[in-house]
Amino acid sequence: MSLKAPRQAKFKAINKMPLIIDCDPGQDDALMLFMALNAPEFDLRGIVAVAGNVPLAATELNIRILADICNRTDVPLYSGCEKPLQRSLITAEYVHGKTGIDPLEIYQPQVQLQAQHGVDFIIDTLTNAADNEITIVATGPMTNIATVLSRAPQLSVRIKQIVMMGGAMFEGGNVTPSAEFNVYLDPEALDIVLKAGRPIYAFGLDVTHKVMSSPKRVAAIRALDNPVAQAAADMLEFFDRYDSQKYASEGAPLHDPCTVAFLLQPEMFKMKACACQVELNSELTRGHTAVDFWQVTDQPHNIHWAHDVNAEEFFTLLTDRLSDY
């Protein structure tokens, strides 16, 4: 694929949000990146890969491919941690396919990873930032972010907010009866992040299961006449097959794009400030996010929990952003 000058989006923004994205693509991560890479609202400082849906060798290649498809070769790309803090890596090829972004072509794009480790990049970015400046979107296990906070806890004040995909309360789990995949993979990492004292906006299964793709919604994306939209439709059709077979649903939940959608149009979501703890020890409930949604304890609030969304507004936003490529 040839390299061209980065495109100019039709959506205008004056005050750009300084942003780091940490992800583990994954088809839904890919759609999240398609939205973010076409958002002039963001000053996107870099994208960091982490092991999660597929191993790090795949996720670090996937961020290169996805940036190349979007013609955003100006965005620095980094490789992060290859395994959870304390546990063995568990992956989800049974959902995402062998590559993570099936059925897209896997190739070696000209855009390369930066030599610097992703954790060091985040630390350097925070070091050079003002207090409450940097927004972090995290749509995989929290391994990279927890490593940053463990190595440089004094820099946590530079983080404005962490917008994450992970966890479940009302919906139950999707990898065990109790746990959502991202949290189950590295619960110790989320525990560190929850205790860091920074604003956290969490988009778990309670809300992501309300933004389901459907044949009609995929067809609207397929009708857009550009390569990025076609790649999105291809991945959605592949991604849908798992949920339709396992859950007899009409389509698949778009977990990770909820994070970027919130930053672009927060009014489409309903959030509630809650206390949240993550289970670390129980074999039965490892990775369970114990969200005190009904305020039954006196624990201090440490998370803003998404519990509802206007799905039509969500898909309108997604389609609009894909239309401009």
HSE-CB for 196 with a 13 A CA cutoff: 29
Out of 96, 117, 209, 255, the active site residue is: 255
Residue 266 contacts residue 306 (beta carbons within 8 Å):
no
Scanning the chain, the segments in alpha helix (DSSP H) are 27-36, 56-69, 93-96, 118-127, 143-151, 181-185, 187-194, 205-208, 215-222, 227-247, 257-264, 311-323
Closest listed residue to residue 221, CA positions, set 142, 318, 314, 141: 318
Structure tokens at 43: 């000053």
CA 201 vs CA 12, 79, 80: distances in Å: 25, 24, 22
288 counts as catalytic: no
Query: In the block, which residue shows the tokens 């927004």?
Result: 135
HSE-CB for 182 with a 13 A CA cutoff: 29
Residue 271's beta-bridge partner residues? 306
Burial class (CB in 10 A: 0-12, 13-18, 19+), 244: middle
SS (H, E, C) 191-209: HHHHCCCCCEEEECHHHHC
Structure tokens at 179: 């746990």
How far is it, in rounded angstroms, from Cα 197 to Cα 218? 39
Residue 80 contacts residue 22 (beta carbons within 8 Å):
yes
The catalytic site residues sit at 255
